[in-house]
Amino acid sequence: MKKAGIVMVLGSLLLLGLFKFPLWNIMLGAPQYPDPLGMDIYIQGIEGVEEFDLQNIDGLNHYIGMKTIPKPEDMWEFTVFPKVIIGMVILGVAIGLLGFFEKISYKYFLGWFVLMSVLGILGMYDFNNWLTEYGSDLDPHAILKLKNPDGTPMTYKPPLFGHQKLLNFDVTSLPHIGGYLMFVGMSLTLVAFWLGRRFSLNNTGE
């Protein structure tokens, strides 16, 4: 059970990488931009991949009536998400240590994984809603008012995951280093559950 507890602690601590590395990345490429414009999305806010990327993206968005990219104080998520991650790290480390000293069942490892998965799904749902609003709530007085073939106003929602063509821009949205660290960390907690279960079934030391 000691090995399972250590793996659980390590998996939980990997979530701290979200405070250093971006969770998600959105890149916009077009013929007039040989070097694509990009946004790195952290749990504390949004930053440009290069120094003036956000400024340039906001400038382009102005013509079609999209809102400016929000600052951390403009979205409650950038205040709540860091607290949620810290809470899950503390909980995961506590569960791992209690498991190490055989004070709780290995099933708590799986419980942490399920809770983190639910929170992750809710976070992605919220992120997708923000992308939808960001790309469809347009200023009616925008310089360019483009429409779909059926006459409805065109929306510019970036994809949640993958590639999409928006006008002459190729938009790619994918997880970044922080997202991959979170995935590895959560996977390690499943490994901890498996190790704990094996220990329990064998009822022997590791």
155 DSSP assignment: -
pLDDT band (50, 70, 90) for residue 150: confident
Q: What is the pLDDT of residues 83-129, one digit of tens each?
A: 999 999 999 999 999 999 999 999 999 999 999 999 999 999 999 99
pLDDT band (50, 70, 90) for residue 63: confident
66 DSSP assignment: P
pLDDT band (50, 70, 90) for residue 204: low
- In this predicted structure, what is the pLDDT of residue 206? 43
pLDDT band (50, 70, 90) for residue 51: very high
Residue with tokens 């009822």: 203
**pTM for the complete prediction?**
0.90
Q: What are φ and ψ of residue 26, in 5° steps?
A: -125, 125
pLDDT band (50, 70, 90) for residue 205: very low
- Does residue 152 or residue 28 have the better pLDDT? 28
92 CB burial (10 A radius; 0-12, 13-18, 19+): buried
What strand order describes the sheet that includes 46-48?
Answer: 46-48, 33-41, 24-30, 169-175, 162-166
**Opening angle at CA 56, ends 128 and 35, nearest 5:** 90
- Buried-state track 158-195, b at ≥16 Cβ within 10 A, e below 16: bbeeeeeebeebebbbebbebbebbeebbebbebbbeb
Contact 48, 26 (CB under 8 A): no
26 vs 30: CA distance, rounded Å: 14
CA 73 to chain centre: 18
- In this predicted structure, what is the pLDDT of residue 185? 97
- In this predicted structure, what is the pLDDT of residue 140? 82
- 110: which 2 tokens? 């799986």
Measured from the Cβ of residue 25, the count of other Cβ atoms closer than 10 Å reads 18
Measured from the Cβ of residue 99, the count of other Cβ atoms closer than 10 Å reads 29
Section 58-62 average pLDDT:
88
pLDDT band (50, 70, 90) for residue 1: confident
Q: What is the pLDDT of residues 155-202, one digit of tens each?
A: 888 999 999 988 888 999 999 999 999 999 999 999 999 999 998 888
Average pLDDT, the chain: 92
Section 35-47 average pLDDT:
95
